[in-house]
């Protein structure tokens, strides 16, 4: 009768209450195996907020000023009327497009600012001054 060494080891291990597997033996000898799954990555945000305050020439916050945000790719324009303490806020602004930002009131206009797609910040904060 021919003896099978692996079968004899498995039989002895089972009778001793020990479970034997070749991968467990490899892991014990060579150390823990690395997972074939890629590491979990945090998704990169694709949108940002654009916020700030509108001031007059004397640095007083202005309420009721129209703030514009123009997408330079699509030419669409969003607007927001400055609220309490002159604050304005735009949500869900694409990080992959460039925008122009400015404020207007009674024919007066602030300097135009650029919100660049190269800027990786998720919150773009810029104060605007009406001259």
Contact between 105 and 62 (Cβ < 8 Å): yes
Taking only the tens place, the pLDDT of each residue in 101-114 is 999 999 999 999 99
| 27 and 56 share one domain | no
Contact between 115 and 98 (Cβ < 8 Å): yes
| 57 and 104 share one domain | yes
pLDDT class of 40 with cuts at 50, 70, 90:
confident
| 66 and 113 share one domain | yes
Domain membership of residue 100 (yes or no) is yes
Strand boundaries in the chain, DSSP class E: 47-55, 66-71, 77-81, 87-94, 99-105, 108-109, 113-115, 123-125, 128-129
| 61 and 90 share one domain | yes
| 73 and 25 share one domain | no
The count of domains in the chain is 2
Q: Return mean pLDDT, the chain.
A: 83
Domain membership of residue 41 (yes or no) is no
Flag whether pLDDT at 42 surpasses 80.
no
Distances (CA, A) of 128 to 40, 58, 87, 120: 40, 12, 10, 21
CATH of the domain at 115: 2.60.40.10
| 22 and 65 share one domain | no
| 28 and 56 share one domain | no
**The residue to which tokens 């602030």 are assigned:** 110
pTM: 0.67
Domain membership of residue 99 (yes or no) is yes
| 72 and 116 share one domain | yes
| 77 and 116 share one domain | yes
Phi/psi of residue 30, each to 5°?
Answer: -100, -5
Taking only the tens place, the pLDDT of each residue in 54-87 is 999 999 999 999 999 999 999 999 999 999 999 9
| 51 and 28 share one domain | no
Full residue range of the structural domain in which residue 114 is found = 47-129
| 12 and 56 share one domain | no
| Residues with Cβ within 8 Å of residue 21, at least 6 apart in sequence | none
């Amino acid at each position: 009768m021919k003896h099978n060494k692996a079968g004899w080891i498995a039989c002895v291990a089972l009778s001793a209450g020990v479970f034997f597997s070749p991968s467990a033996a490899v892991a014990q000898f060579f150390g823990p195996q690395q997972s074939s799954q890629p590491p979990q990555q945090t998704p990169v945000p694709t949108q940002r907020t654009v916020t700030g305050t509108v001031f007059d020439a004397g640095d007083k916050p202005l309420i009721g000023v129209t703030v514009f945000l123009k997408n330079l790719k699509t030419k669409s324009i969003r607007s927001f009327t400055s609220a309490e303490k002159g604050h304005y806020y735009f949500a869900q602004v694409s990080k992959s497009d460039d925008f122009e930002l400015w404020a207007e009131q009674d024919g007066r206009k602030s300097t135009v600012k650029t919100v660049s797609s190269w800027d990786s910040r998720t919150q773009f904060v810029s104060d605007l001054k009406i001259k």
